[in-house]
Amino acid sequence: MNEADERYSTAEDAIYDAFFLLLKEKSVDRITVSDVVKKAGIVRSTFYNATPCGYAGNDDCGQMSAWYIFSSLGFYPFNAGSAEYVIGTPLFRRAVLHMPSGKDLTINAPRKSDKAIYVKGVKLNGQKITDWKLSHRQLMEGGTLDFTMSEKK
């Protein structure tokens, strides 16, 4: 059993704990997207690993695995009741999603590295995204999602 398994019953508990710790550090109105991205990166690297335990707990029927995949692509559903995704830090420099319609969504983060974890800008099909959100419809339409990464906040 790894340390995460001893402390948390599920990886979801670990994520909630990470965000509550963030709230202890800053008031809600002072939390930035980069703060959330950094905490999500910590959760991704700490609570998901290539061991027999895989990740802390395993009682969520794949919900946390789905979050990990989305987060690794650079966006994830923040509110299960909406069709919106929040921009985060991609894990990969490039990924291609093949949509059911036959269209592809290509995700590019060419400057992504272990140190370049901060998203300075995002463009979808050449248009700047200013509200740090994507709709489900936008993703399904395919195209190109370009991330500009930096080592500095």
CA distances for 131 relative to 17, 38, 113, angstroms: 26, 18, 24
Strands 133-135 and 84-87: antiparallel
- The pTM assigned to this predicted structure is 0.65
pLDDT digits (tens, 9 = 90+) for 67-103: 788 889 999 888 777 889 999 999 999 999 999 889 9
Q: Which CATH superfamily is domain 75-153 in?
A: GH92 mannosidase domain (3.30.2080.10)
pLDDT digits (tens, 9 = 90+) for 101-127: 899 999 999 999 989 999 999 999 999
d(CA 79, CA 95): 24
List every span in the chain annotated with CATH 3.30.2080.10: 75-153
d(CA 149, CA 146): 10
